[in-house]
Amino acid sequence: MHTIWTIAKRELATFFDSLIAYIILALFLGFSGFFTWLYGNDIFLVGQANLRVFFNIASWSLFFFIPAITMKMLAEERKTGTLELLLTKSVSDREVILGKFLGSILLICIALTATLPYVITVANIGNLDNGGTICGYLGLLLLSIAYTAIGIFASSITTNQIVAFMTALLIGLFFQIIFGVLAQNFTGSLGQFFDTLDLQSHFESISRGVLDSKDLVYFLSITVLGLYLGEWSLSKRHIS
């Protein structure tokens, strides 16, 4: 655990050192803020409904920005050779993956915390369902861990950051849109199957305030699978 924390801390420090963190945070807040303002301009009328617009838009922002956070994590280390140095320290492949995972989750948590003033503003104006708000954030967090795991896997299979970014986005696209579209176009058990895979519907049911273990299992499965595949690909050392 200590090792994972050491790696996560370094990741975070590197982020904030290289300005990337600030750019991503600014873009994330700007992007979410702008679209929430654009689509939710009846903010003064409906408190909770308006927050739902915000959670929806934040989920899209995360969909784009998480691959940008994770893309260099392993690809860059493999390219510069520092991965060799890291993995010959007394560290296991799993600890490296988990450390990187924790590092980017912490950055995302910072980004999500930065949106709190917005929620507080809404709460001061209209009446706010605290439980619903917490569920909304929980949904964003679950979505984040799933996309981070996918991003880390994408970063583990290449030495090129751009390829890692595109791969993560492409895999994410299936969960974010394509499975949902397929679910609508197929009926019966196939439609059911795609609906189960669709991330949006799981996210929406959580952010509506309905906590179902099925949704939790869904997000956690993607996360575990992504991290596991990342570890597996890291154990095959020779990809160039």
The binding site for other proteins (CB under 8 A) comprises 2-3, 6-7, 10, 13-14, 17-18, 80-82, 84-91, 235, 237-238
- Whose Cβ is closer to other proteins: residue 95's or residue 215's? 95
**In this structure, what are the phi and psi dihedrals at residue 23, rounded to the nearest 5 degrees?**
-65, -45
Q: For 87-92, which contacts have Cβ atoms below 8 Å and span 24 or more sequence positions?
A: 87/234, 90/3, 91/3, 91/7
Nearer to other proteins, 84 or 212 (CB): 84
In order of 91, 165, 220, 225, the CA distances from 83 in angstroms are 11, 19, 27, 22
CB of 16 to other proteins, least distance (A): 11
Q: How far is the CB of 157 from other proteins (least distance, A)?
A: 18
Nearer to other proteins, 9 or 52 (CB): 9
Minimum CB distance to other proteins, residue 84 (Å): 5
Instruction: Please report where in the chains the tokens 């609906």 appear, as a residue.
Output: 195
Whole-angstrom Cα distance, residue 133 to residue 16?
A: 28
Structure token digits, residue 238: 């020779």
Whichever of 89 and 196 has its CB closer to other proteins, that residue is: 89
Minimum Å gap between C-beta 196 and other proteins is 36
